[in-house]
A and B are shown apart, each in its own frame.
Chain A
Amino acid sequence: EGQLVESGGGLVQPGKSLRLTCVASGYRLGSFAVSWVRQAPGKGLEWVSSISGSGGVTNYADSVKGRFTISRDNSKNTVYIQMDGLRVEDAAVYFCAKASSGGTQRVRFDQWGQGTLVTVSS
């Protein structure tokens, strides 16, 4: 069935940058769109960004548009999210989630990683 593993989280000061990585094992991630979904401590789920299987289409939540950049390297079975200009309100567990198809519309997330914690504090 395979799995998704996130990494790259940590403690960062406001205004600084962080890059998260999501690696898939057991299947070709390039056939599927991938999203990042975050969960602030004690809060619900918030979709952040999506990238199509080919990488040609990306979407962002308004709360991160212009600050976060999603990308992928299908040769490495990996999706990234570059987070610049981090704010205190960006602190959360970030999950990568695999869609059931390659497109970024009409999706369902049929596999999730375990998440990586991002803490933004001075």
Chain B
Amino acid sequence: DIVMTQSPLYLPVTPGEPASISCRSSQSLLHTNGYNYLDWYLQKPGQSPQLLIYLGSTRASGVPDRFSGSGSGTDFTLTISRVEADDVGIYYCMQGLQSPFTFGPGTKVDIK
């Protein structure tokens, strides 16, 4: 199984400041088709998860452009250019390359 790790696990942020979360996989998520099968999800308090970024760097529909994803192979980063209060919650990376699909442990983002 592909193991996903994230850091940090807790990230206090200041509104207006940038923030970034790292995600690493135990195997490369780069498919022969050239795509990285790495997604980012945000679970806001009391809600179900929502897709933010897929294929490593493509924003899902309706996701603000302050969110961006980067990386390839086994190392990925989610960046929020200017954090807003509404961005609090737990961010998960997930590998969608192969079953069993596996999630990182989550990074809790909170306002300082």
Give bound CA distance, A50 to B32, whole Å. Answer: 23
Q: Does B45 contact A (CB under 8 A)?
A: no
Q: What B residues does A44 contact at CB under 8 A?
A: 90, 92, 103-106
Known A45-B103, A47-B101; judge A107-B48 contact (CB<8 A).
no
Q: Does B76 contact A (CB under 8 A)?
A: no
Give bound CA distance, A45 to B106, whole Å. Answer: 8
Known A44-B106, A112-B50, A115-B48; judge A106-B100 contact (CB<8 A).
no
Q: What A residues does B71 contact at CB under 8 A?
A: none
Q: Does A95 contact B (CB under 8 A)?
A: yes
By the criterion CB–CB under 8 Å, are A45 and B49 in contact?
yes
Report the minimal beta-carbon distance from A72 to chain B, rounded to whole angstroms: 17
Q: What A residues does B48 contact at CB under 8 A?
A: 95, 112-115
Known A106-B31, A109-B39, A110-B60; judge A59-B50 contact (CB<8 A).
no
Q: Does A25 contact B (CB under 8 A)?
A: no
Q: What A residues does B50 contact at CB under 8 A?
A: 112
Q: Does B37 contact A (CB under 8 A)?
A: yes
Report the minimal beta-carbon distance from A114 to chain B, rounded to whole angstroms: 6
Give bound CA distance, A16 to B2, whole Å. Answer: 31
Q: What A residues does B99 contact at CB under 8 A?
A: 47, 50, 59, 104-105
Known A44-B103, A44-B106, A45-B103; judge A110-B51 contact (CB<8 A).
yes
By the criterion CB–CB under 8 Å, are A112 and B49 in contact?
yes
By the criterion CB–CB under 8 Å, are A108 and B51 in contact?
yes
Interface members, chain B 67-98 (any A CB < 8 Å): 90, 92, 94, 96-98
Known A44-B92, A46-B103; judge A105-B98 contact (CB<8 A).
yes
Report the minimal beta-carbon distance from A37 to chain B, rounded to whole angstroms: 8
11 contacts between A and B (CB under 8 A): A44-B103, A44-B106, A45-B103, A47-B100, A47-B102, A59-B100, A95-B48, A100-B54, A106-B37, A108-B37, A109-B49
